Amino acid sequence: MAAERSAFRLALPEPTASYEQDAEYCVVDTGSGWVEHRFHDYDRLYTIPGLYEKLFYEILQCQSPPVVCDLLAAQLRAQDVDPSSLRVLDVGAGNGIVAEELKARGVGKVVGVDIIPEAREAAERDRPGTYADYHVVDLTALGTDRAAAIASGGFDALTCVAALGFGDIPPEAFRAAFDMVADDGFVAFTLRDDFLTEGDTSGFAGLISSLLDSGELEELDSTVYRHRLATSRDPLLYRAVVARKRRRA
Ligand SMILES: C[S@@+](CC[C@H](N)C(=O)[O-])C[C@H]1O[C@@H](n2cnc3c(N)ncnc32)[C@H](O)[C@@H]1O
């Protein structure tokens, strides 16, 4: 299958081939020949304007940002929280699609965090002004000063969409971001559904269940949904969770 855009041509493997999510790839021609890009080569994908949206949103029908933002917005309404008062830390922010969805639901302030500078550059290029600030950091290697400087944004919500696991954000980075959110803050994230089952080896099932068991996380709602299609066109099932961070007992 191929899709055309003015600045690039894009093609995916035949749907008969099946790849693990971190091995999926496409080929792109920006005018000087076809080049293969793994889906997880975000630095290269973000550099080509419109490619990320064409690939994941138009062709593979990604639904994660609206699904998790709708779930969060419903909980804000249910708990009588004015979205315009919310200050959200959006981790694994990429080129800003989640921030755009949050802003469309009336959220007041969104600050991005991503590990690669190409993500911030793409967010500034594609959605200028959407983030109040955008930090390029590795959350697993933050000094206390840098962590405190980011947390001084006074966050009362954390979002992390389509970015946990698979060599992306590891459990310890999620924990570091979680620690930057105020008590009673909202936490909204998506994760491949089988990462939350017994026998999971990603570390997320252990982290989330220990946060729930210790009372640090109070789940408000969750739903299993189709995150996107794989290149095989099979559905990839994720879980979206909205919770509140509570003071450790
Ligand atoms: C699939 S993209 C999702 C982007 C955005 N949340 C969305 O839904 O469109 C995953 C993002 O996570 C970022 N990422 C991967 N590892 C990370 C880490 N350790 N810390 C922060 N961001 C990370 C990647 O650079 C990439 O921008």
CA 46 – CA 58 distance, rounded (Å): 16
Q: What angle do CA 51, 60, 63 make, to 5 degrees?
A: 100
Which run of H or E residues covers position 2? strand 2-5
Which atom belonging to ligand 1 lies closest to the Cα atom of 46? Answer: 27
- Measured by CA distance, the residue closest to atom 16 of ligand 1 is 168
State pLDDT tens for residues 40-80.
999 999 999 999 999 999 999 999 999 999 999 999 999 99
What is the value of pTM for the model shown?
Answer: 0.94
Sign of CA dihedral 54, 55, 60, 65: negative
Helix, strand or coil, per DSSP, at residue 110: strand
pLDDT for 115 equals 96
pLDDT tier, 6 (very low <50, low <70, confident <90, very high otherwise): low
For residue 236, pLDDT over 80 is answered with yes
Average pLDDT over residues 158-185: 93
Helix, strand or coil, per DSSP, at residue 63: coil
The answer to whether 208 and 196 have CB atoms below 8 angstroms apart is: yes
CATH superfamily of 64-245: Vaccinia Virus protein VP39 (3.40.50.150)
**Residue 239 CA to ligand 1 centre (angstroms):** 17
For residue 178, pLDDT over 50 is answered with yes
Pocket, ligand 1, Cβ cutoff 6 A: 42, 64-65, 91-94, 97-98, 113-116, 119, 138-139, 161-163, 168-169, 173
- Measured by CA distance, the residue closest to atom 27 of ligand 1 is 94
Half-sphere exposure at residue 77, Cβ-oriented, CA atoms within 13 angstroms: 8
Average pLDDT over residues 125-151: 94
pLDDT tier, 249 (very low <50, low <70, confident <90, very high otherwise): low
- Please name the amino acid found at residue 170: P
Residue 95: exposed, middle, or buried by beta-carbon count in 10 A (0-12, 13-18, 19+)?
buried
- Please name the amino acid found at residue 55: L
Measuring CA to CA, which residue among 69, 78, 98, 97 is closest to residue 225?
A: 69
Residue 112 burial (CB count, 10 A): 28
The token pair at 80 is: 């009588």
Residue 68 burial (CB count, 10 A): 27
Question: How much of the chain, in percent, has pLDDT values that exceed 70?
Answer: 97
CA 190 – CA 149 distance, rounded (Å): 26
- Measured by CA distance, the residue closest to atom 18 of ligand 1 is 169
**Domain range annotation of the chain:** 2-59, 64-245
